[in-house]
């Protein structure tokens, strides 16, 4: 019994220790604020350098169930990247002053991208293609919901989860007539 109590106490200490380590990753009040600044403020750059290439790599993986571990790993890695990037978007806000709903919708749509990309990540971990596909479609709808809100400033693309679309990797090579 004493052994059990000691074991329990040790386990509790270990859990508390792990919690303390986890929490120490959070910013301390005296941490330089510069450390916490985003590397890049521009949403345009986030979209064209993070979201777009990741979505492009993900899209062909969602056409049919991966046949090997490498395919599932790729799906998982893109989903995680998009989930973390979606989470990061919640720290920004819409700069569209023309559409009053845009500012209101921004946090919801960012959080939805995170939620569905996280579900995709978890489905890929379980190699559950039906759920992965559903989450991927819902994530794309959330990307598009924000793009629709933002549309009066420039024209963010409407993404097509399946079939041809703006983020496809297929490039039409123009015929050169000489």
Binding residues for ligand HEC (CB under 6 A): 43-44, 47-48, 51-52, 55, 82, 89, 106, 109-110, 113, 139, 142-143, 146-147, 150, 154, 156-157, 159, 167
Q: Which is nearer to ligand HEC, 12 or 40 (CB)?
A: 40
Q: Which is nearer to ligand HEC, 56 or 125 (CB)?
A: 56
CB of 177 to ligand HEC, least distance (A): 29
Which residues have CB under 8 Å from 123's CB, separation 6+? 129, 131, 132, 135
Q: Which is nearer to ligand HEC, 27 or 38 (CB)?
A: 38
Contact between 90 and 111 under an 8 Å Cβ cutoff? The reply is yes
Q: Which is nearer to ligand HEC, 31 or 49 (CB)?
A: 49
Cα 161 to Cα 141: distance, rounded to the nearest angstrom: 9
The tokens describing 71, both together, are 């395919």
Do you know the residue count of the chain?
Answer: 178
CB of 105 to ligand HEC, least distance (A): 8
CB of 139 to ligand HEC, least distance (A): 6
Cα 177 to Cα 7: distance, rounded to the nearest angstrom: 80
CB of 63 to ligand HEC, least distance (A): 16
Contact between 56 and 28 under an 8 Å Cβ cutoff? The reply is no
The tokens describing 165, both together, are 């679309």
């Amino acid at each position: 019994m004493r052994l059990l109590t000691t074991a329990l106490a040790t386990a509790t200490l270990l859990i508390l220790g792990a919690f303390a380590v986890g929490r120490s990753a959070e910013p301390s009040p005296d941490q330089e604020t510069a450390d916490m600044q985003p590397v890049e403020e521009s949403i345009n750059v986030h979209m064209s350098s993070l979201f777009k290439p990741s979505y492009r790599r993900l899209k062909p993986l969602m056409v049919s169930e991966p046949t090997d571990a490498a395919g599932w790993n790729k799906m998982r890695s893109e989903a995680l990247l998009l989930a973390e990037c979606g989470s990061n978007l919640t720290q920004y806000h819409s700069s569209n002053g023309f559409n009053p709903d845009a500012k209101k919708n921004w946090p919801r749509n960012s959080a939805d991208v995170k939620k569905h990309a996280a579900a995709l990540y978890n489905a890929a971990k379980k190699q559950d293609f039906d759920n992965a596909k559903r989450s991927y479609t819902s994530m794309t709808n959330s990307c598009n919901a924000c793009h629709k809100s933002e549309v009066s400033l420039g024209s963010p693309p409407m993404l097509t989860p399946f079939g041809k679309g703006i983020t496809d990797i297929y490039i039409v090579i123009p015929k050169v007539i000489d």
